[in-house]
Amino acid sequence: MTPHSKIPLIWFNWLLLVVLGVMVFGISMILAPGLLRQVFSFLLFADTVAIDNGFGAPAVAYVTLIHGVLGGVMFGWGAALFLILVGPLRRGSREAWMIFAASLAAWYFPDTLFSLWTGYWPNAVLNSVFALLFAVPLAATFKACQREQV
């Protein structure tokens, strides 16, 4: 732990990397739409050009728009998580831990259940990997964030 931290540095750094990863992924959906469209095309259809070749120009443009909007939302969510992490969560705030965890649950469950419901299970798997990357350090910091604040 550092003098300004009540959570162990390993878990702080782990969460920091994952949050920055969310932000980079989100902004790349805006800055590299073709590449991310290929990634999702491969993830969902096992073919990097299935979206571009099979959806038609208006649908591809719409997918690009939706990816850009989603990327902006992910970047913004990541920025909020970053500020919570480097501020009150780092100091061991129980409320910050709860806000952090609640925002993850509020994303994970509806997104993953909708992905499964619509038959896009690979997205549910991707969500679960991201959720696990957050869950490990959150579980490890739970007790440190439950202690009485000074």
Total-model pTM:
0.90
pLDDT per residue, tens digit, the chain (150 aa), is 444 568 999 999 999 999 999 999 999 999 999 999 999 999 989 999 999 999 999 999 999 999 999 999 999 999 999 999 999 999 999 999 999 999 999 999 999 999 999 999 999 999 999 999 999 999 999 999 987 554
HEC secondary structure over the chain: CCCCCCCCHHHHHHHHHHHHHHHHHHHHHHHCHHHHHHHHHHHHHCCCCHHHHHCCHHHHHHHHHHHHHHHHHHHHHHHHHHHHHHHHHCCCCHHHHHHHHHHHHHHHHHHHHHHHHCCCHHHHHHHHHHHHHHHHHHHHHCCCCCCCCC
